[in-house]
């Protein structure tokens, strides 16, 4: 037996144990969710007189969705004299004029609405919010990204929770306007449902920290100030502020029964840029606030959950390591006997893979009790997409670890709700990189690994490894297809600045 065989195997098992650890955390979340989901929060009391609310709308080059956003905000069922609307516009294209005209319409309707346009984009979204908060008249700030369409009763369902002076933020659950638009949007919806329905509910109702999702939530202005205000040294200013505020003693509430719909990215490049930003930002916040969390006097179970949350994206580094260890392990695995093999591998497989399936099935059953089973066919693709995204997200983790600074990359939004949308004509496109070609090479390699395993009669290995080539081919080919020139289809806008990448 080659002396290197045990080394390969130990490295392989170590990586799998790490992935299984994060998988076991998902099972913990399921347990906490099922245990605490019935503990629905209730307001301490109702306000006798509704308070003034400032609605903050940070946008950057969002010409396809700004009008839809403003129209939906104008329909919110709340006394008009108790609303202030701030359109925090950092745009450099025709969106600026659309914003001006939209705000003028709201003013004509009697709204206290203001268009605040910055030409200096310091701090990106965090900078825009920081700037707008200086002029906010309301103590409560309802933040909505450009692709959200709030329901008319959202403020009536949320504002009374602030009757408790200790409540600093209220987060609503995201809905999905274009959930069934294509396969990618269906899988994204499942990813987000797992996070929002299970993780956020479980953390909040079990007394653990949870975080503002960047939009569709309401902040108490004095809470933001007490926590140190919006800071823009990370790409996820929402997560950063959330932890700082809760460490100051502020309490948050997550309302899983109040839905605020939004548009999901419909193309792979947009999804990748969004995931890269979220992944990198979470590691930046991890480096920034985790030491303070462990030095604080919060209970141990809160510290442990915060650690699991903030370090969860390190799983992508483990996944990349696994990619390099699978093939050597198959050819140099020590023979410890079948019993030992199954004793070691079955628990690891359960915690690393089956836990993920149970996690997302639980979220779908909770949100769609009568139709959850229709999502089962998409679970293999969900696993495959998670693998395919490992290169993009592992790169994001490394950039954060080594302090590599990048701009706030926007996620293009097209105002898509119907399948016949002409979104591909838009000049808004995600930034192009060489990552798809690397993903394609990984796909070719794992296709070889799967075919070799099948030819050697190792069918269980071939089946278990099949998500690897599928995932890498899916993420790579989807991106490559968008790199091809769009022929005989004019752009919706000719504005060169519309392609700018450093937005919110």
Active site residues: 90, 238
Q: For 411, which DSSP code?
A: -
Q: Which residue has the tokens 């029964």?
A: 257
Q: How many CB atoms lie within 10 A of CB 177?
A: 18
Handedness of CA 158, 159, 164, 165 (dihedral sign): positive
Residue among 61, 142, 31, 149 at smallest CA distance from 428: 61
Strand partners, 286: none
**Dist. CA 278–CA 363, nearest whole Å:** 21
Strand partners, 59: 89
**Listing from the earlier edge strand, what are the strands of the sheet with 217-220?**
112-117, 83-89, 53-59, 140-143, 217-220, 167-176, 251-262
**Dist. CA 397–CA 382, nearest whole Å:** 21
| Those residues with Cβ within 8 angstroms of residue 151's Cβ, 6 or more apart along the chain or in another chain | 259, 260, 261
**Dist. CA 439–CA 354, nearest whole Å:** 25
What secondary structure, in 3-state letters, does 85-153 show?
EEEEECCCCCHHHHHHHHHHHHHHCCCEEEEEECCCCCCHHHHHHHHHHCCCCCCEEEECCCCECCCCC
**Dist. CA 260–CA 343, nearest whole Å:** 46
**Dist. CA 495–CA 498, nearest whole Å:** 6
């Amino acid at each position: 037996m080659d002396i290197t065989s045990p080394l390969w195997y130990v490295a392989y098992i170590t990586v799998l144990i790490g992935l299984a650890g994060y998988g076991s955390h998902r099972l913990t979340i399921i347990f906490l969710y099922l245990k605490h989901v019935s503990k629905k929060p209730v307001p301490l009391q109702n306000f006798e007189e509704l308070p003034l609310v400032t609605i903050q709308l940070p946008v950057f080059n969002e010409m396809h969705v700004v009008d839809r956003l403003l129209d939906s905000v104008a329909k919110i069922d709340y006394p008009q004299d108790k609303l202030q609307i701030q359109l925090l516009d950092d745009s450099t294209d025709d969106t600026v004029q659309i914003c001006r005209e939209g705000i003028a319409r709201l003013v004509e309707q009697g709204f206290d609405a203001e268009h605040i346009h910055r030409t200096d984009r310091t701090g990106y979204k965090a900078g825009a919010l920081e700037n707008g908060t200086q002029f906010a008249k309301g103590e409560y700030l309802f933040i909505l990204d450009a692709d959200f369409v709030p329901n008319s009763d959202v403020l009536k369902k949320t504002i009374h929770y602030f009757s408790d002076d200790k409540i600093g933020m209220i987060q609503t659950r995201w809905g999905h306007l274009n959930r069934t638009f294509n396969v990618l949007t269906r899988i994204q919806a499942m990813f987000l449902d797992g996070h929002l329905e299970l993780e956020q509910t479980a953390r909040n109702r079990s007394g653990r920290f949870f975080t503002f999702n960047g939009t569709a939530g309401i902040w108490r202005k004095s809470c933001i100030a007490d926590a140190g205000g919006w800071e823009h040294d990370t790409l996820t200013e929402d997560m950063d502020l959330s932890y700082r505020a809760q460490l100051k003693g502020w309490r948050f509430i997550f309302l899983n029964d109040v839905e605020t719909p939004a548009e999901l990215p419909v193309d792979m490049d947009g999804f990748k840029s969004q995931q890269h930003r979220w992944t990198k930002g979470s590691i930046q916040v991890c480096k920034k606030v985790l030491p303070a969390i462990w030095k604080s006097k919060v209970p141990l179970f809160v510290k442990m959950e915060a650690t699991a949350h903030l370090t969860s994206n390190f799983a992508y580094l483990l996944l990349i390591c696994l990619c390099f260890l699978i093939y050597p392990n198959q050819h140099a695995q020590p023979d410890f006997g079948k019993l030992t093999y199954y004793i070691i591998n079955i628990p690891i497989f359960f915690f690393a893979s089956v836990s993920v399936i149970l996690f997302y099935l639980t979220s779908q059953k909770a949100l769609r009790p009568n139709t959850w089973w229709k999502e089962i066919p998409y679970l293999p693709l969900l696993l495959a997409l998670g693998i395919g995204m490992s290169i993009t997200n592992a790169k994001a983790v490394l950039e954060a670890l080594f302090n590599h600074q990048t701009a706030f990359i926007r996620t293009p939004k097209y105002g898509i709700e119907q399948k016949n949308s002409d979104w591909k004509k838009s000049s808004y496109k995600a930034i192009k990189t060489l990552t798809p070609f690397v993903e394609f090479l990984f796909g070719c390699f794992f296709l070889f690994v799967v075919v070799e395993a099948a030819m050697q009669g190792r069918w269980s290995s071939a089946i278990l490894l099949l998500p690897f080539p599928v995932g890498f081919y899916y993420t790579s080919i989807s991106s490559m297809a968008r790199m091809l020139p769009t022929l005989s289809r004019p752009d919706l806008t000719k504005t060169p600045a519309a392609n700018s990448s450093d937005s919110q």
